[in-house]
Structures are given as C-alpha cells and as structure tokens.
Amino acid sequence: MKDTYIFAIETSCDETSASIIKNGNEEISTVVLSQIDIHKNFGGVVPEIASRNHTQAITLVFEKTLKKANMTMDKIDAIAVTYGPGLNGSLLIGIEAAKALALANNKPLIPVNHMAGHIYANKFSGEFKFPLLALVVSGGHTELIYMDKEYSFKKIGGTLDDSVGEAYDKVARVIGIPYPGGPLIDKMSKIGNSSYKLPTPKDDDSFDFSFSGIKSAVINLVHNEKQRGKEINKEDLAKSFQDTVVNILVKKTIRAIKKYNVKQLLLAGGVSANSGLRNLLDIECNKLGIELLKPEIRYCTDNASMIGAAAYYAYLRGDRADFNLEPNPGLDLEEGDNCEK
Ligand code: KG4
Ligand code: ZN
C-alpha cells in the first residue's frame, strides 16, 4: 500500500504545533511551540493572548516542520486540523491556516477531534487491540471511553463537574504553585507523605467522577490551617491530594475494564504524564493481566503528532471538511459533525 503522509495542525489551547506523520504512527517531524511562559504571568491561559500568539507563530511553525522533515507540500496527502474542543479563538487560527494550506496546495482537509488525538497519541506506543477502554484525563476532560474499532468512541462515564487537570491546577494555585500546577504537584508528591485526610470523591458504583468537592476540601483545609496560624506542609498536601485522586480514577477504571471485558487500557490526555497514575495503573493492570498503553511523556500534553495519528484513521474512513469548517469549542468525542459525508 502507498504510504500516507499527513500534515497535522494543533492550536486548540496554548501550544502552536505542526507535525508530519506517516501512516498514522511514524513521526517524520514535529514542532511544538508552547506559550506556557507567557500565560504563567496570569495564572492560567488568557484566550486573547493565546490566539494572538498562535497568529504570530503559525507560519514559522509550518516552515520549521517542513524543513525538519526535509519535505515539500507536494509529498503530503492531506492536511489535518483540530476543530474542537478547545478555545474558540485558538482553534480558529489553526483552522484558517489549515484551509489556506489545503487550498493553496490542493489537498483534502481532515477535521480532527482534539480528544481523539489524545487517545491516538498511544499509536506511537503500540498497536490498539479491540475492544479497548481509554481513560482520558486532561485540562478540560475526564472520561472513560469504550472503543470496539478504530475511530469509534462511546463514552461510558465522565466528570460531572471539574476535570482532573483543572483540580490539579486549582489546588496548585491555592498553595502558591505557578500554572500549570499539575506537573509540580506530581513532583512534590514524590517527597511528601499522605498525611492529610481528604474525602474520596464520588466513590460509588457509577463510572462518573467529581472533583469539585476535593478541590473545595483542599481550599478549606488551607484556609483553616492559616487561621490557626499553622504552616501547610505543601509536599504532604500534594501527596495526599494526588493519592486520593489517583486512587478513585484507577478504582473506577479497573471496574470498567472488568465490566466491559476489554483487551487493553489506553491512558490519554495531559494528566497521563502523572507519575502516580502511571505507576498505580501499571500495578493494577499487571495484576489483571491486561495490557496498558501509555503515551510517551512528550505526547501527553498537546502536540500535533497525536492529531496526525488520529487523522490517519479519519482519513481512511473518509472524513473530509470543506472550507466552511468552523471551530467547535464544545465538540464531543461521540460527535462526527462538520464532515462532508
Ligand atoms: O491535555 P492537556 O495538555 O490540555 C488539554 O487538552 O486540556 O492537559 C493539560 C493539563 C493541565 O491541567 C496540567 O496541569 C495537567 O494536564 N498535567 C498534569 C501533569 N502534567 C500535565 N497533571 C498532573 N500530573 C502531571 N504530571
Ligand atoms: Zn489536550
């Protein structure tokens, strides 16, 4: 079969990224320009600043991606772009740039769901074995997704309020850690003890999650200790928080694996970089004799390589967008709108 080269674009939040992916699992080149240092000063992503920076960076990122691959556009089979979920203004820059590239080079345009991208980041780690379950944990999402074939997503549970990433970032802010707090809390938890008692969130028979309660519990605990004139042990609080969150995520995921009798578990999304989550899933999946695929750390947070991997399967099944493609900030994984077919 002829090789397929996809030029993929990701601008849904604060990373401007482009990538060339061969046959859905081979990275030819990728460039990721992170804006974290800019947004850090504001304690989170500022949408207007994010889109302005995408606009300034995108042409350069495209040029660098082609140069790194030592390729020209004529070798590319299709242009893929994230069209949701994400920040409207940020998505728009990537979409308009993708349209321009597709039009100028006469290539098909493939619309890709950002969360499908996170799941397909695992294509760089190994083959998918169906049926499988994906635990998707990011800054905006916490979902359990069932897949019985390529590019088919069924949500079996999800958060009813905050995502895990959001909870991490908010807890970090309360204890004075800069954005994004997730990676630092993870690091601090390695030297802390689980000495603070926190409530286990939504410990029930469903496959849904809730993280707003534990976030409030941490905020209250910090305020109470302050009022009593006591110092918080930040490392211990980080460890207590991480253990509580990881335990419930893993507990429900393992129960879902058993119920749906899947062959494989995929970990996906920015929080999949979390060492506590990776370790406990390793242990529990090992006990069950179930294969666990985890993205390499560089594919955990937003990047265009994962979009190129997902786009390959969208391309094979015939997903195409026309030049009316628009951002869909609240796009659901189970939706397939904006496709011509
Ligand atoms: O997937 P992502 O890059 O962006 C979205 O699509 O939302 O995820 C970003 C989130 C942030 O909330 C960040 O704090 C969290 O992932 N994160 C982590 C870790 N690395 C990134 N959370 C916990 N532990 C980590 N090691
Ligand atoms: Zn993401």
pTM, 2 dp:
0.95
- Identify the three-state secondary structure at position 77: coil
Give the residues surrounding ligand 1 with Cβ less than 6 Å away: 13, 138-140, 165, 168-169, 180-183, 186, 269-271, 273-274, 301-302
Which residues, in sequence order, are bridge partners of residue 201? none
CA–centroid distance, residue 73 to ligand 1 (Å): 32
User: pLDDT of 210-232, one tens digit each?
Assistant: 999 999 999 999 999 999 999 99
Residue 334: what pLDDT?
86
Average pLDDT over residues 72-94: 97
The values of phi and psi at residue 331, to 5°, are -50, 135
Is the predicted pLDDT of residue 336 greater than 90, yes or no? no
Closest ligand 1 atom to Cα of 172 = 14
Question: In this structure, is the dihedral angle defined by the CA atoms of residues 147, 153, 156 and 157, taken in order, positive or negative?
Answer: positive
User: pLDDT of 155-167, one tens digit each?
Assistant: 999 999 999 999 9
CA–centroid distance, residue 132 to ligand 1 (Å): 23
Is the predicted pLDDT of residue 86 greater than 90, yes or no? yes
CA–centroid distance, residue 106 to ligand 2 (Å): 29
Protein residue with least CA distance to atom 4, ligand 1:
139
> Binning pLDDT at 50, 70 and 90, where does residue 268 land?
very high
What does the mean pLDDT of the chain come to? 95
Q: Which helix (H) or strand (E) holds 221?
A: helix 212-227
User: pLDDT of 125-149, one tens digit each?
Assistant: 999 999 999 999 999 999 999 999 9
In angstroms, the Cα distances linking 333 to 141, 147, 196 are 11, 11, 36
Is the predicted pLDDT of residue 38 greater than 90, yes or no? no
Closest ligand 1 atom to Cα of 302 = 3
* DSSP output for 255-269: HHHHHHT-SEEEEES
Between strands 26-34 and 15-22, the pairing is antiparallel
> Binning pLDDT at 50, 70 and 90, where does residue 37 land?
confident
Counting ligands in written order, which one lies closest to the CA of residue 169? 1
Other beta carbons within 10 Å of 202:
17
Residue 341: what pLDDT?
35
Residue owning tokens 């026309």: 322
Average pLDDT over residues 174-199: 94
DSSP code for 339: -
Protein residue with least CA distance to atom 10, ligand 1:
139
Tell me which of 278, 301, 305, 307 to substitute to probe ligand 1's pocket, judged by most ligand atoms within 8 Å of the beta carbon: 301
* Polymer length of the chain: 341
CA–centroid distance, residue 181 to ligand 1 (Å): 8
CA–centroid distance, residue 216 to ligand 1 (Å): 20
